[in-house]
Structure 1
Amino acid sequence: MSVDPSSIPFFGAPQPPQPGGGDRPAGPPPIVVPDQQLVTQLLDQMQLKHVVDEEGDLTAPWEGFRVYYMFRGEQKELFAVRSFYDRSYPLEQKGEILDLIDEWNRETLWPKVYTHTHEDGVVRLIGESQMIVGTGVNLDYFVNTTANWTQAAVGFEQWMVERLGLQQEVEGEGGEDSPEDEG
């Protein structure tokens, strides 16, 4: 099962009612120091399933990968969205995979993707986007960036499936027929 990145609802911060009505903006959105509760509210409004893992990180699982929403640093000043992709690649294919993720990293802003080679020689991919939030950040910027990073994590998985020609394999796992099989 693949997820269409455009199916993730746009999440914009609700605008407070304007005093006295009218169409005049009330000013810039507030500056906030984001925390896990804000990210949880964002995921709820995006209608994404999520859990808190044993390390206390907020995680949104998809079929084939997981997206983690983490605050790091002494003061929790670094916000990171990390995607751990389940598909494994043999060490012999690492050169090809590096060429593909170099292409992705050149052509997109996020997530920046890198490989992790396990001791047994299995290669997996990790995507990561980060921002410093300790001194505060515009609420709209934080919300929209987090939603875009989530969408991009889903988009990368689909991009890799297309680039490696794995579409039939992925559709076969879900029991769907490919259009070439009809006729």
Structure 2
Amino acid sequence: MGFFDTVPAQPAGGLEPLAIDRIRAIFDRSGIKYGVDDDGDLFGSWEHGFFHFIAAGDGKNVFCLRGTWFGELPHERLDEVNAFTADWNRDHFWPKAYPVVTEEGMVRVLCEHVVAYSFGLTVDQLEDHLGCGISTGSALFEALNEAFPEAKREDNRE
């Protein structure tokens, strides 16, 4: 029997299932403004980008915080952006950063911080995950602003 064939015992003490409503409660308590998309996931704008907060997977127990930098660069800069995100991913544990090319041919940078909570999590753990993802994603976006000051900024705040 291998390591991944075993099912660990469920930890005891204060764990509740991941739920978007739990994130909403944290945001409400903290005064964070957010919206709700058609799938019921949350999103919000910060200084240099916006973030989506997604519960994914069959049991909705995988938390994904996905950020998008407000900056855009022309397609000709893709190699530079690839080099930047490769360096970021090598030098930082999180968030994972990667460029995407839009339908309009512009380069955007996204980031993700993903954690599976098969047995649930405490409110402190969820707050920590949110804080970590937002702060490190924001640090990535600030680094992008410094590396690419000429980037077109499209602030999608409402």
C-alpha separation between the residues in 2 aligned to 1:89 and 1:165? 10
Structure number, greater radius of gyration? 1
C-alpha separation between the residues in 1 aligned to 2:80 and 2:143? 15
Aligned counterpart in structure 1 of residue 96 of structure 2, from 106, 109, 112: 112
Please, which runs of 5 or more residues in structure 1 have no aligned partner? Answer: 1-27, 174-183
Q: 1:165, CA displacement in angstroms?
A: 3.7
Aligned counterpart in structure 1 of residue 74 of structure 2, from 83, 90, 93: 90
C-alpha separation between the residues in 2 aligned to 1:158 and 1:78? 27
Q: 1:153, CA displacement in angstroms?
A: 1.6
C-alpha separation between the residues in 2 aligned to 1:76 and 1:44? 21
Percent identity over paired residues: 22
Q: Match of 1:25? A: none
User: RMSD of the TM alignment (CA)?
Assistant: 2.4
Please, which runs of 5 or more residues in structure 2 have no aligned partner? Answer: 1-11
C-alpha separation between the residues in 2 aligned to 1:139 and 1:73? 20
Aligned counterpart in structure 2 of residue 101 of structure 1, from 82, 85, 89: 85
C-alpha separation between the residues in 2 aligned to 1:36 and 1:119? 30
C-alpha separation between the residues in 2 aligned to 1:95 and 1:120? 17
Aligned counterpart in structure 2 of residue 161 of structure 1, from 138, 145, 148: 145
Aligned counterpart in structure 1 of residue 64 of structure 2, from 80, 83, 90: 80
Aligned counterpart in structure 2 of residue 69 of structure 1, from 22, 30, 53: 53
**8 Å CA contact retained: 1:84, 1:127:** yes
SS of corresponding position for 2:70: strand
Q: Match of 1:34? A: 18
C-alpha separation between the residues in 2 aligned to 1:43 and 1:29? 24
Q: 1:166, CA displacement in angstroms?
A: 5.1
Count how many residue pairs are aligned between Structure 1 and Structure 2: 143
Q: 1:58, CA displacement in angstroms?
A: 0.4
Q: Match of 1:180? A: none
Q: 1:62, CA displacement in angstroms?
A: 2.6
TM-score normalised by structure 2 residue count: 0.79
C-alpha separation between the residues in 1 aligned to 2:16 and 2:145? 37
C-alpha separation between the residues in 1 aligned to 2:61 and 2:34? 22
Q: Letter of the aligned partner of 2:116 in structure 1?
A: I
TM-score normalised by structure 1 residue count: 0.69
Q: Match of 2:39? A: 55
Q: Letter of the aligned partner of 1:49 in structure 2?
A: K
C-alpha separation between the residues in 2 aligned to 1:46 and 1:104? 30
